[in-house]
Amino acid sequence: MLQVVQAYDRAPIAEIATDDAAALEAKLQAAEKVFRDRDSWLKPHERMAILRRLAGLLDGKREHFARQIAREGGKPLPDAIVETTRAIDGIHNAADELRNFGGREIPMGLSPAAANRWAFTTKEPIGIVAAISAFNHPLNLIVHQVAPAIATGCPVIVKPAGTTPLSCRDFVALVHEAGLPEAWCQTFIPESTELAEKLATDRRIAFLSFIGSAKVGWYLHSKLAHGARSALEHGGAAPAIVDRSADLDKIIEPMVKGGYYHAGQVCVSTQRIFVHREIVDAFTERLVARVKALRTGDPVLKETEVGPLIQPREADRVAAWIDEAVNGGAKLATGGKRLSETTLEPTVLLDPAADAKVSQLEIFGPVVGIYPYEKLDEAIARANALPVAFQASIFAGDIDIALRAAERLDASAVMVNDPTTFRTDWMPFAGRRESGYGTGGIPYTMRDMTQEKMILFNRR
């Protein structure tokens, strides 16, 4: 049995049964059986109808899911409501994408050998999908993995994070209620991490969707069966550059949202803020004042802006990194105190050392560092110096500065006058280098979950 607790106070929520090796084999066999029977494949209009019904069912339970996200994951309730709304829209997005999801004509007749032929491609589902998800968006991340699989006709076995399995379990129940046969979408809650690896690396898995730590993701990627594809979504240490032409009255609120949303437990959370030396004091004063005003506490309360970290050991780690940075010369501008077993004060550090953990590694906690700079290219070089790269931001009123930074920042997406955390669910979302592999976003995942087949007619 798996004990699920509230992230904030560790109070028990539920005990749920776990799956053993025999259960995994049964799930793989069921998925393989339905996929091999092409006559049982659902037509696009049937898949669209299921997705539409699913969105309606989820809409009817949005309060249940929002509260559950807040309890098991620790996300403040207003943000959990937004996550549920995004999940509903994401399901519609997958259904909508099917309207224009098709193959293409391949030119023939371009040489004598290709004369009198007609060729085109079709898109086919790639096969069984193993979806391994993370805790920080326990509903919407599942939607990003499951909805594309339903849309493209792939059987999917989804493993949620062990700390947040309830949202996944309840969502998959809605999938079945919407009309998708159980074998096409199954949950897997393993009794050991070894079984999770066994799922991902099984020869019957055609596509691995992994959201989580780089260490685990890249390891699983190296163990995939030959021919299997994967998409890995890891983390980073997202940089934001604040030019002296930036409007400080407008950027503080998005900057705070970027750094402290879900207590910094977001793969693109703003972590390293490079501020032009001419405005660093004014920027710091305003940022610190807003951070001090953040309401930290129980995520189920509507007024809470910053909730807990997912587990006590994560709070221990972040607190230790803050202490290390301060002992190494950083100034603690605000925060740094432990408020409970899992809750930390939102923290601002001034000019941590370049080799401090908070400057080198993903914090995944409510901490940002401010680093002064003299020249833009210096800030860009420092922003690009780590082996991780995901999303980045440039805040500037000068369009030339904004464009120069946007062109030179090593990131899959650069936000101009928006925080590093900005995302819509239909846009491409990808880590570079150690931060990931492949491209997320519902339309892009649908493409990854299909493969093209060319059909050629000889018209002689």
**What residues are labeled active site?**
233, 267
Closest CA to 129 of 212, 228, 29, 22: 228
In DSSP terms, which residues pair with 457 in a beta bridge? 118
Under 8 Å CB-to-CB from 151, ≥6 apart: which residues? 47, 48, 51, 94, 95, 97, 98, 101, 446
Q: How far is CA 457 from CA 104, 122, 184, 412, in A?
A: 14, 14, 33, 40
Q: How far apart are CA 57 and CA 88, in angstroms?
A: 9
Q: How far apart are CA 183 and CA 45, in angstroms?
A: 19
Q: How far apart are CA 209 and CA 419, in angstroms?
A: 26
- Show the CA angle centred on residue 228, arms to residues 223 and 230, nearest 5°: 80
Long-range contacts of 29-33 (CB under 8 A, 24+ apart): 30/182, 30/183, 30/186, 31/128, 31/155, 31/156, 31/157, 31/183, 31/184, 31/186, 31/204, 32/128, 32/155, 32/204, 33/183
Closest CA to 442 of 4, 146, 42, 99: 146
Token code pair at residue 232: 């890995």
Q: Give SS3 for 85.
A: helix
Q: How far apart are CA 17 and CA 3, in angstroms?
A: 9
Q: Sheet of 105-106: strands edge to edge?
A: 105-106, 117-125, 450-458
HSE (CB half, 13 Å, CA atoms) of 441?
17
**What is the DSSP track for 3-16?**
EEE-TTT--EEEEE
Specify the residue for token string 């550090």.
349
